[in-house]
Copies of this chain bind each other. A is one copy, B any other.
Amino acid sequence: MKVKAGIVGGAGYAGGEMIRLLLNHPSVQLEFVQSRSQAGKRVDSIHADLAGDTHLVFTPSFHEQTDVLFLCMSHGESRKLLTDEVIPSSTRIIDLGNDFRSGDEVRGRAFVYGLPELQREKIRKAHNIANPGCFATAIQLGLLPVAKAGILGEVHVTAVTGSTGAGQKLQDSTHFTWRANNISAYKTLTHQHLGEIRRTLQQLQHGYNKEVNFVPWRGDFTRGIFATAVIETQLSLEEANMLFKDYYREHPFTHVVDHMVDIKQVVNTNKCLIFLEKIGHKLAIHTTLDNLVKGASGQAVQNMNLMMGLDEKAGLHLKSSVY
């Protein structure tokens, strides 16, 4: 008996990745892909890489009965949709936007923050998931073990993201002529993902009130996030590695490795790779993931797997495009 899934907002990047992942998922039947802008068109006319893979047509409606509904909309639109429309209460929701990451409810639906490495058991029992942000996932996975140990101090982290993080809409910062061979900063120390990061850190380390200084950069590539966090710690490198490896031992997608990591090691996979270095009393934590997979649609599948009692890795044995 396959899980019946639907996608709301299937024409964008996150929606497209949801389609790609669900079409190949061995335990899922993709019932429909809704899109307001593309309703009536073949899915493979918009996502041309899917030629030969599907005969689905974008639907205007999302009211068919499904077990799980993935919401892939602009920020703010999930709340509007769940407020305005009646979705059967039996339908589980996985929201890829940032509307419910602070734990809000809507119409009696309570959302669980869907970071499996933080709270897998809670996700297993959840009915609605607020899927984490991409930067938030990368940064948190670099800090969870330290906060869990209750020894996290001030954090300085710079992280760079690919252009897909900015979405499909044409804008100056995604013009090829500007972005190619370029690096720039934006939302310095004020990025909206700081909210969910702080909530997680405080959940793990009570009373955590140090600053998380996060400098986001725009990178001249399409996929991936690379982050380096620097913190002060008395842990030796061995102790730090043990702390991290213990923490992630049972988590199938997050790996602490013994060599420098880079973005291409994880592109097109649901993995997060972590590498630690100790210099003086400072610990440098390098993390990397694919913002559209572990940072969005792949993590959404992982959350669905957990909620629906499937193998956590089902449908996520992805071939990296490492070269």
| A222 is an interface residue with CB less than 8 A from chain B | yes
CB <8 Å contact, A51 and B319: no
- Nearest 6 interchain pairs by C-beta: A158-B158, A170-B170, A184-B262, A189-B279, A181-B221, A49-B320
Contact of A284 among B16, B189, B252 (CB under 8 A): B189
CA distance A183 to B263 in the complex (A): 6
- Interface with B: A3-11, A114-122, A224-232, which one? A224-232
CA distance A171 to B266 in the complex (A): 22
Contact of A322 among B49, B217, B261 (CB under 8 A): B49
CB <8 Å contact, B319 and A265: no
CB <8 Å contact, A163 and B189: no
CB <8 Å contact, B268 and A51: no
CA distance A17 to B284 in the complex (A): 32
Interface centre among A20, A158, A261 (most CB of B within 10 A): A158
Q: Considering only CB atoms, which chain B residue lies closest to A13 in the complex?
A: B323
Chain A positions 249 through 267: 1 when the CB is less than 8 Å from some CB of chain B, otherwise 0: 0001101010111111111
Chain A positions 169 through 212: 1 when the CB is less than 8 Å from some CB of chain B, otherwise 0: 01110111111111111101110000000000000000000010
| A27 is an interface residue with CB less than 8 A from chain B | no
CA distance A321 to B293 in the complex (A): 10
CB <8 Å contact, A174 and B171: no
Interface residues on A, range: 35 or more
Question: Which residues of A from 308 to 323 have beta carbons under 8 Å from B?
Answer: 317-323
CB <8 Å contact, A49 and B264: yes
Chain A positions 10 through 44: 1 when the CB is less than 8 Å from some CB of chain B, otherwise 0: 00010011001100100000000000000000000
Q: A175-B176, A262-B182, A279-B190 are in contact. Are A230 and B215 (CB under 8 A)?
A: yes
- In addition to A176-B222, A186-B260, A188-B277, 10 A-B residue pairs with Cβ atoms within 8 Å of each other are A24-B319, A48-B259, A49-B320, A51-B271, A183-B219, A183-B224, A184-B263, A185-B286, A189-B282, A213-B230
A288: chain B residues at CB < 8 Å are 183
Chain A positions 51 through 73: 1 when the CB is less than 8 Å from some CB of chain B, otherwise 0: 11000000000000000000000
A188: chain B residues at CB < 8 Å are 228, 277, 279, 284, 286
- A contact residues vs B (CB 8 Å cutoff): 13, 16-17, 20-21, 24, 45, 47-52, 156, 158, 160, 162-164, 168, 170-172, 174-186, 188-190, 211, 213, 215, 217, 219-224, 226, 228, 230, 252-253, 255, 257, 259-269, 271, 273, 277, 279-280, 282, 284, 286, 288, 292, 317-323
CA distance A175 to B168 in the complex (A): 8
Min CB distance, A7 to chain B, in Å? Answer: 15
CA distance A286 to B177 in the complex (A): 21
CA distance A21 to B318 in the complex (A): 9
CB <8 Å contact, B217 and A228: yes
